[in-house]
Structure 1
Amino acid sequence: MIGAGSVSDAYLRSMRCFPYLIVHAIGDLHPEAAKDKVDAFGVGNHGGPETVLHHPDVDIVVNPTNPAAHVEVTSAALAAGWHVWSEKPLSLTPEDGRNLLTAAQHGGLRVGCAPDTILGPGPQAACRVIEREDIGRPLTVLTQLQGPGPEYRHPNLAFFYQEGAGPLFDMALCGVDVGPRAGTEFDVRFVTHVGAVIRPESGGSAQSVFGLDAPFSRSGVVEITGTDATLALPDPDRFDGEIRFRRRRSQGWKTLTTTAWAERGHRRVDRNRGVRGHREHDRGPSGLAGPLGPVRGNPVTTYRNEEK
């Protein structure tokens, strides 16, 4: 692992749950931060990034660095001959992302990116509901996540207001109880409220609202409406929660199932199995795409169309 910031704790907790995942080394530009993680979790060696890049037993480099460093660290890992799992976003621009994927392809390597909550029990159960056509043909999707920002939730909040973070690229805020940087001033380098309307070529539409300006939190809204019913998913920043279902003209919601708590790591585990077994890893569930259609095993074409 390269990057010993606060988000690395979730990665280290989850990787210790799987006996076939071994954390050989943790590297950081501040080696003392890497040492703190090794001491806390009892894993691997520690040092600078080169400790990880030059380790002979590494298969996959996990990259939970700040967004601005993702491309540089992923590129270095690919150049060293390692597969990579990156925290989101993969890159700050589509061009950089495509370059990373091209480099990986040329080297016979694999690159993956968070979030992996899509492989958690909540979204997977929702996939089965959609694939059974319980809601009919998917028509629309609504997602919403708003709140007052990370001022009271993160020990190093400045990067949340820089390029590569914020409401569009990273709304998965890590919870802490206090605001240790109260009174600190820094520039905000992005729009703090984002709205999007997505119209897939295959039909249907999706609407999303993400923002850091609301005085209260409104999170975990993911609703997929079909010709027969609406499906409400659990909070996409978590692995657990209720899956609710409401048919047209019904008087209320019905809870289909309550999924159990799980840690991050499902997609990294699947990638590791794919690498060791020389097979394709799971690229994501087919049914959850709804009107977008299946994506498992298919290459993805990226493009951007902006209006300001």
Structure 2
Amino acid sequence: MIGAGAISGQYLAVIERLPILQLTAVADLDLTRAAEVAQKYGASALSVDELINSEDVDLVLNLTIPAAHAEIALQAIAAGKAVYGEKPLAATLSDGIKIIEAARAAGVRVGSAPDTVLGTGTQTARKAIDDGLIGTPISATATMITPGHERWHPNPDFYYQPGGGPLLDMGPYYVSSLITMLGPVRRVIGAASHTRPTRTIGSGARAGEIIDVAVDTHVTGVLVHESGALSTLVMSFDAAATKASNIEVHGSTASLVVPDPNRFDGDVELHEVGGEWTTLPVSAGYRDAGRGYGIADLAATPAGQDGRASGELALHVLDVMLSLLDSADQGVAVDVQTSCQRPDPVPLQDAPGGVVQS
């Protein structure tokens, strides 16, 4: 694991309870923090270079800031290691393509967050769509409204620099879920705004410090899926709150409310034409999942096949998001350069690899 910051705790909790995974080494710019995590979990505290070249490491979990995702991934691939990274795959499309091409050439696999789409929430919704419960999918809406992460994060600078912003930070959850349910995207139309040049940190040792904003902080747009379905996306760090469903999917005979894609579970609700809202039983996905299930799914996937939270999916998600920003900047519709296979569904089950949860 490279990067032992705030998100690492969620991964560590899952790794500890999945025997298919073993933490062997930890690296971080803060050597003391790396040593503390390593000691707690019975791993070695190493430098980044030592970790990447260690014979005890099969896969590098890349939890660095977005701007460093590509650099670390490419180093690991060059050393023959599989890579699983936090979202987004990279800060630029060219870097994302380099990662996937390097992995193919080296014969190693790449996976990427978010793996929330492997949980029972999104997967139950996908199964309902695949089973024809909504008829022909027509459209979807995806909404994420928050006043900004600087209110709670002690070091929020990267959220407001290239590679951050509401779309690249939170968008991967929503876009990955939409692609999982409705398939890849071929064209986007976007608009965006940059409402404030600075933000004030609200917690931690730096509370009251002012940081610069270098990205758009409210992004909206339409995704044109290859299937013909249209998804409307709103991602904002500028507004107070919303009462809208995180995701809704509408078909020719019924509509679905899909749970928060930043979670692994949640109720899926169905409303048929002329009917009422009903909650569907959980029917697909990994039960009781958490961050790190994408790594376990990758480890349990036969050689020669991609895991469900694959690098190819992450590259397409990155392309969709960056194309949306390009569309907003240019004021025209933009064709998405990449595509991907719709990930395999997850049948209702316990942990990847047949490991039952404790």
Larger RCO, structures 1/2 (Cα 8 Å, 6+ apart): 2
TM over 0.5: yes
* Aligned residue number for residue 116 of structure 2: 117
**Cα shift readout 1:111-168 (whole Å, capped 9, x = no counterpart):** 1111011111111111211111011010001000001111232222111111112211
Structure 1 counterpart of 2:256, one-letter code: L
Question: Matched residue of 1:142: which SS?
Answer: strand
Amino-acid identity (%): 36
Hey, what's the Cα distance between the residues in 1 that align with 2:150 and 2:309?
A: 33
* Aligned residue number for residue 156 of structure 1: 155
Hey, what's the Cα distance between the residues in 1 that align with 2:240 and 2:112?
A: 31
* Aligned residue number for residue 278 of structure 2: 254
Matched, 1:207 2:212: no
Structure 1, unaligned stretches of length 5 or more? Answer: 173-177, 286-295
* Aligned residue number for residue 28 of structure 1: 28
**Cα shift readout 1:52-85 (whole Å, capped 9, x = no counterpart):** 1121121110001111110111111111110100
Hey, what's the Cα distance between the residues in 2 that align with 1:95 and 1:220?
A: 34
Structure 2 counterpart of 1:204, one-letter code: A
Higher helix share: 2
* Aligned residue number for residue 144 of structure 2: 145
Question: Matched residue of 2:246: which SS?
Answer: strand
Hey, what's the Cα distance between the residues in 2 that align with 1:243 and 1:197?
A: 23
Whether the 8 Å CA contact 2:77–2:83 is kept in 1: the answer is yes
Hey, what's the Cα distance between the residues in 2 that align with 1:79 and 1:282?
A: 20
Hey, what's the Cα distance between the residues in 2 that align with 1:243 and 1:36?
A: 40
Structure 1 counterpart of 2:4, one-letter code: A
Question: Matched residue of 1:242: which SS?
Answer: coil
Matched, 1:197 2:222: yes
* Aligned residue number for residue 235 of structure 1: 260
Q: Which stretch shows the higher mean deviation, 235-244 or 42-51?
A: 42-51
Whether the 8 Å CA contact 1:30–1:48 is kept in 2: the answer is no
Hey, what's the Cα distance between the residues in 1 that align with 2:148 and 2:316?
A: 32
Whether the 8 Å CA contact 2:271–2:278 is kept in 1: the answer is yes
* Aligned residue number for residue 221 of structure 1: 246
Q: TM-score, normalised by structure 2?
A: 0.75
Hey, what's the Cα distance between the residues in 1 that align with 2:8 and 2:245?
A: 23
Hey, what's the Cα distance between the residues in 2 that align with 1:246 and 1:284?
A: 29
Hey, what's the Cα distance between the residues in 2 that align with 1:283 and 1:258?
A: 19
Whether the 8 Å CA contact 2:113–2:309 is kept in 1: the answer is no
Hey, what's the Cα distance between the residues in 1 that align with 2:69 and 2:63?
A: 8
Q: Structure 2 vs 1, CA of residues 144 and 278 (structure 1 numbering), >3 Å: closer, same or farther? A: same
Structure 2 counterpart of 1:24, one-letter code: T
**Cα shift readout 1:201-232 (whole Å, capped 9, x = no counterpart):** 33121100000111235576111100010111
